């Protein structure tokens, strides 16, 4: 009798399974991922959502990108319903990518820095791995293409190469974020994912390109002071965590999740209440000279023009005249921009004489941006009255497709840029602090301001004042200001991060003098000659960000990688368990 009862229970269990499978195949909606498990024959084995459209008798949810139980790496009974179909997910991240781009200058709508990551989470939820790559690719293109549109002034292929390479990195890593969404604490893991993603792009390919970091959109936001605690990686983490919690609210619509979002957003905004470190009573008067360049409509017209040096010499002479007339205080140091001499002054005597005359006229040290030959280098060199050129700093992080041409052999067949830049620049290898009077000046050149370690190295070497020499003319030919303003925002963030005054000197604008709290003391327009002067504090204290260095980024990235490994291992284990064969009905199932 016992064996007969067992057989009866098994028969009843099988009948229930057949009825459940039939109900799944008959569903007209097909949007609940639990129904994706049904297959022809009613075995209930999970399938890949990417293959659903081609399976006889299967539902059509996978064709639209909705995650199936197999894609999620979960047993059928554990799959979450409610993910977006692929077409809607792609539209969502299109909006999200554009929103994130608008968080950065020239638009500067900084709250959108949390909205973009939130929409990415909403779109990635329940997607297959291939769907996750597509979602990441669309988000990346919608973000990087407009963010980097100013690169078009250099060359169309440079714009395409940078935008597409960053997009591919982002799309591949988006698969990782999809896996992290399996974790209980996924909002924290997603915030770590953004830090890790930025860490990779800051270093690779071609030496890295640190544009588009969430933190760098916050120069005018109350959140910005968090960079003085843990640098840009900490601020990126907080912004991304707020975005992840916002996505949690959108997905779950629960009071508890709304409270979590409010707490995280409040914490990020509380950065405005962080104390401002102030140490040292010394101050100095600094001047930035923006000599302007010929507004040529093509790259050759902007290069190797002796007019550039003459413009800066004339502007410096005007500064000297205003000082002599008593209209301005005598500066303690004058900063000329990057490429203020496009011709090597040691190869061209006329250029050397023009610089010498300008330094003599103002009677103060002048930091001159020079292009030096043999080997080709981009340097900032301090010229002293009566002594001429002295200490120089050589740019360490060279611009891909500008100072270094990747894939030179291939590009030589499709563009003339390799002929305009036939030799790659030689990078420098160390920080240099210029010492003059009370001033200890640390210099970075152009987009070096985007690299955490480079700027930090100047401060740790003893700088009490920072300068950013830049030449933005190439990227402003068509009137775009994105590159100039994005770079200015980075300089403002560096001022807050290290509690240092920063002088930004540009050939064509935007030039600026920035207070240690990140506020703008003075600022110029673009495509005009200008001289800025202000008295700034020379602070010497250490912020917590300087003390901890790169450790916040290292720790967050390492923990995120461990979380990703755990999420991937769990997905693989559950997938294997789901593919171990048709599930045999258990006695408990039959009895139920």
CA dist 431 and 455 (Å) reads: 9
Closest CA to 366 of 306, 427, 292, 313: 313
Closest CA to 510 of 210, 316, 290, 216: 290
Could you confirm whether 260 is annotated as catalytic? no
Closest CA to 49 of 67, 26, 25, 33: 67
Q: How far is CA 113 from CA 37, 102, 164, in A?
A: 38, 8, 21
Could you confirm whether 395 is annotated as catalytic? yes
**DSSP string computed for 498-565:** HT-EEEEEESSS--EEE-TTS-EEEE--SSS-EEEEEEEE---PPPHHHHHTTHHHHHHHHHHHHHHH
**Both structure tokens of 252:** 């779950």
Closest CA to 190 of 173, 209, 201, 177: 177
Is the separation of the CB atoms in 371 and 378 below 8 Å? yes
Both ends of the chain: CA-CA distance in Å?
Answer: 20
Q: What is the CA radius of gyration of the chain?
A: 29
CA dist 418 and 401 (Å) reads: 9
CA dist 142 and 494 (Å) reads: 27
CA dist 545 and 156 (Å) reads: 38
| Catalytic residue, candidates 245, 392, 446, 533 | 446
Q: CB within 8 A of 333, min separation 6: which ones?
A: 284, 286, 287, 364, 365, 366, 367, 436, 439, 441
Is the separation of the CB atoms in 123 and 165 below 8 Å? no
CA dist 63 and 51 (Å) reads: 7
**DSSP string computed for 466-514:** EEEEE--GGGGTTS--HHHHHHHHHHHHHHHHHT-EEEEEESSS--EEE
Residues β-bridged to residue 381 = 368, 392
Residues β-bridged to residue 341 = 370
CA dist 284 and 562 (Å) reads: 48
Is the separation of the CB atoms in 240 and 214 below 8 Å? yes
| Catalytic residue, candidates 67, 198, 338, 533 | 338
| Catalytic residue, candidates 260, 370, 395, 497 | 395
3-state helix, strand, coil in the chain (%, to 5): 55, 10, 35
Element (H, E) at 145: helix 129-147
Is the separation of the CB atoms in 513 and 505 below 8 Å? no
Residues β-bridged to residue 470 = 506
3 state DSSP class of 283:
strand
Could you confirm whether 446 is annotated as catalytic? yes
Q: Could you give the residue numbers annotated as active site?
A: 338, 395, 446
């Amino acid at each position: 009798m016992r064996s007969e009862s067992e057989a009866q229970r098994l028969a009843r269990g099988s009948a229930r399974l057949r009825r459940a499978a039939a109900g799944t195949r008959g569903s007209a909606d097909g949007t609940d991922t639990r129904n994706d498990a049904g297959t022809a024959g009613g075995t209930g084995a999970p399938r890949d959502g990417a293959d659903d459209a081609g399976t006889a008798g299967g539902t059509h949810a996978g064709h639209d990108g909705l995650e199936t139980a197999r894609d999620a790496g979960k047993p059928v009974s554990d799959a979450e319903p409610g993910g977006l179909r692929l077409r809607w997910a792609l539209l969502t991240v299109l909006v999200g990518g554009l929103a994130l781009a608008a968080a950065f200058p020239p638009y500067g709508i900084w709250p959108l820095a949390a909205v973009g990551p939130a929409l990415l989470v909403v779109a990635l939820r329940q997607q297959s791995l291939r769907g996750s790559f597509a979602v990441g690719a669309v988000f990346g293109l919608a973000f990087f293409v407009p963010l980097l549109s100013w690169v078009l002034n250099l060359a169309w292929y440079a714009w395409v190469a940078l935008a597409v390479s960053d997009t591919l990195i982002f799309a591949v890593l988006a698969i990782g974020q999809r896996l992290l969404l399996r974790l209980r604490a996924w909002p924290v893991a997603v915030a770590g994912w953004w830090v890790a993603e930025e860490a990779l792009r800051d270093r690779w390919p071609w030496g890295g390109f640190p544009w588009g970091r969430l933190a760098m959109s916050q120069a005018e936001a109350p959140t910005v002071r968090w960079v003085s605690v843990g640098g840009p990686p900490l601020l990126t983490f907080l912004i991304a965590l707020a975005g992840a919690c916002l996505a949690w609210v959108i997905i779950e619509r629960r009071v508890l999740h709304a409270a979590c979002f409010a707490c995280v957003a409040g914490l990020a905004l509380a950065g405005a209440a962080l104390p401002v470190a102030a140490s040292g009573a010394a101050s100095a008067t600094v001047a930035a000279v923006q000599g302007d360049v010929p507004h040529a409509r093509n790259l050759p017209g902007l290069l190797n023009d002796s007019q550039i040096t003459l413009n800066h010499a004339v502007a410096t002479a005007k500064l000297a005249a205003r000082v002599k007339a008593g209209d301005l205080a005598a500066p303690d140091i004058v900063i000329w921009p990057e490429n203020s001499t496009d011709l090597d002054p040691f190869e061209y005597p006329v250029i050397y004489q023009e610089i010498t005359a300008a330094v003599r006229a103002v009677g103060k040290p002048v930091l001159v941006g020079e292009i030096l030959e043999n080997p080709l280098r981009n340097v900032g060199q301090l010229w002293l009255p009566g002594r001429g050129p002295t200490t120089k700093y050589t740019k360490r992080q060279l611009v891909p497709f500008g100072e270094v041409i990747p894939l030179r052999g291939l590009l030589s067949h499709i563009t003339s840029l390799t002929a305009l830049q036939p030799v790659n620049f030689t990078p420098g290898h160390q920080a240099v602090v210029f010492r003059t009077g009370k001033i200890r000046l640390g210099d970075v050149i152009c987009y070096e301001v985007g690299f955490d370690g480079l700027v930090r190295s100047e401060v740790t070497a003893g700088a009490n004042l920072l300068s950013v020499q830049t030449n933005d003319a190439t990227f402003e030919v068509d009137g775009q200001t994105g590159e100039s303003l994005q770079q200015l925002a980075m300089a403002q963030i560096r001022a807050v991060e290290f509690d240092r005054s920063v002088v930004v000197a540009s050939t064509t604008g935007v030039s600026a003098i920035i207070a240690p709290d990140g506020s703008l003391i003075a600022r110029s327009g673009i495509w005009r000659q200008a001289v800025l002067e202000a008295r700034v504090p020379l602070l010497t204290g250490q912020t917590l960000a300087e003390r901890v260095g790169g450790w916040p980024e290292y720790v967050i990235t390492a923990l995120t990688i461990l979380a990703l490994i755990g999420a991937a291992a769990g997905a693989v284990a559950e997938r294997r368990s789901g593919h171990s064969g048709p599930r045999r009905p258990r006695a408990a199932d039959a009895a139920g």
